Amino acid sequence: MNTHLSVLALSAIIIASIGIAPAFGQIVNPISVTTDKTSYEDGEIVLVTGEVRELLSGTPISLIVTAPNGNRVILDQLDVGLDKKYSTEFTVGGPLMRSGGTYTIEVTYGSQTRTAETTFSFAGSSDSGPKETKMAVEGTEFMVSYKITGGKLISITPDVEANSLIIAITASQDGSLVITLPRALIDAKMGDQDDTFFVLVDGEEVDFEEITTSTDRTLTIQFPAGAEEIEIIGTTVVPEFGTIAVMILAVAIISIIAVSAKSKLSIMPRY
């Protein structure tokens, strides 16, 4: 009898333990994130993987990589597989990830209650990056400085009606454009305060990083492989030189007519 009671008691304990234990392989938190290594050298690839506890139909994962200085250097959206797992990768280094230190990866799935983060250390980039060069803005006397990776800058043209600059590029791969714009060429203002530029890559709005001074605004714009056009829209842009030339010509013609009328067409022979 005691043996039977012992067996029943043991069985009850086992069943209770199974009932309160999480299912094998099920994650405890709503979402997890990890990297394949804890530290990386310049040019190495970071593999990011993770898993969600439950699937949310049609909801991507938002991923943000933040540099040691607080700047967001990568913004991405990731799809979750039917196995509830996700992954992505990126290369450390380049114009936005040059500083050494601790970088933070934050993932969000649907709401702020489903977030996770991890960190990795980066030794820093020894490469000075692409060389800075200059290009003339068509129809003006302005020269702008720029650096580009992953492609080539073809031309820069002002669009006076749209208060924008049209930048033609060829992009053989994903890359970035760092361009310094004189405020006298193009600016974005709301009263006396700086306003935000509106940047389009092939007609689609994109995020960008910006550094401002009293005379210039430097934008860092990411673009995908195959991109052909970047448009930077502000509130003012310098008129095209052709427009100025037409205005000068018009003033000159009016002046000649006025002078001729005043002198009673003295340039004509008298009889």
Q: pLDDT (tens digit, 9 = 90+) per residue, 19-29?
A: 444 444 556 78
pTM attached to this predicted model: 0.46
Whether the per-residue pLDDT at 177 is higher than 80: the answer is yes
Task: Tell me the CA distances in angstroms from 101 to 35, 64, 97, one per residue in order.
Answer: 16, 16, 10
Residue with tokens 């800075």: 132
Q: What top-level class would CATH report for the domain 25-122?
A: mainly beta
Check if the beta carbon of residue 183 is closer than 8 Å to that of residue 176: no
Ranges of each domain in the chain: 25-122, 133-241
Q: pLDDT over 90 for what percent of the chain? A: 59
> Do the domains 133-241 and 25-122 match in fold?
yes
At the second CATH level, the architecture of 133-241 is Sandwich (2.60)
pLDDT digits (tens, 9 = 90+) for 246-265: 455 556 566 666 656 655 54
Q: pLDDT over 70 for what percent of the chain? A: 76
Q: What is the CA radius of gyration of the chain?
A: 31
Specify the DSSP class assigned to residue 238: P
**Higher model confidence: residue 240 or residue 96?**
96
Whether the per-residue pLDDT at 63 is higher than 90: the answer is yes
